[in-house]
Each structure stands twice: as C-alpha cells, then as structure tokens.
Amino acid sequence: MATAHTHSHAEHEGDALIAEARRSLENQGERWTGMRAEVFEELAKHSRPVSAYDIAENLSNQRGSRVAPNSVYRILDIFVRKNLANRIESANAFLVNSHPGCRHDCIFLICDDCGGADHVDDDRLTGALRSAGQQAGYSDVRPVIELRGLCAECSK
C-alpha cells in the first residue's frame, strides 16, 4: 500500500497487527470476542477491500457453519468507529487499518481496473475539510475521501 505521510505512525502486520487491534479496541472500552477476532483476522488477510459478504462466506467455510453477513457488518461497523478498519464507501467494502492506534483520515486511491486501494495521509487536506464541517456546526466530523483512477500497474 502506497502512503505519503504528513505525520508518523507505526505500521503493523501479522500477529503484531492483531495484538495492536485488540489492545486498541479494549483500550476504547470494547471487548475482543472470539467472533470479533475471527472477523479481524479474516479482514487482515486481504490487501484489497473486501465485502462483509466475502468475509462471512470465508468464515462460514472455515467454521463449517453459516456466519450471517449481518453479524459481520455489525462487527465491521464497530471496527470502523474504533479505527481498526476503513470503509471504502464507493465499493461497500472494508480494508484493515494497519495502524489502529493512530487517529487520522485517509484519502483512498481506488483502481477502477484491479480494485486495489492505496491510501495517502494528508492531514492538511482532511483537516481543512474537518474544519469546514465544524464551522458549519457539525461535531465528530470525519472526512471520507476516495479518488478513482488506474493504479500504476494497471495503467502500464
């Protein structure tokens, strides 16, 4: 995933990512249940945005029993609110946040050909949008920015 940071944060992967996600969720007063762990681990396996239906199907196959997509959606909504995952609005899909302890807004770059998603961190841009929302009287403003085009590999 390509990033251009205007601030620094630790990127996590593998077991370290799962441990950081658990720590972050529990520090925010939420429980790290078995099902939440399974959903997070499945989400973390994917480098591209993945739907709740795909996660539910994969977990159903692993368990040998049906996992309801609605249950997965509820967990993913918690993960988005608690900064463990990001929602790619235009694709109704989710992407793991590799730095769950860092609170900032991402600008997503989504490839129209392969479906890949990269992100750029630019707090100046998202900060200006957040400020505009707050000046309009909104609270808890969190910009969601998605840019679509062709990634470097697909545009060759």
Rounded distance between C-alpha atoms, residue 61 and residue 67, angstroms: 9
pLDDT of residue 22: 95
Q: Do residues 119 and 138 share a domain?
A: yes
Specify if 68 maps to a domain: yes
122 against 74, higher pLDDT: 74
Specify if 3 maps to a domain: no
Q: Do residues 71 and 122 share a domain?
A: no
Which pLDDT band holds residue 4 (cuts at 50, 70, 90)?
very low
139 against 2, higher pLDDT: 139
Structural domain for 30, as ranges: 14-96
Reported as a single tens digit per residue, the pLDDT across 78-129 is 999 998 999 998 888 999 988 776 666 778 899 999 988 888 878 888 889 9
Q: Do residues 81 and 138 share a domain?
A: no
Q: Do residues 131 and 85 share a domain?
A: no
pLDDT at 134 over 60: yes
Specify if 28 maps to a domain: yes
Q: How many domains does the chain have?
A: 2
Q: For residue 55, what is the domain's CATH number?
A: 1.10.10.10
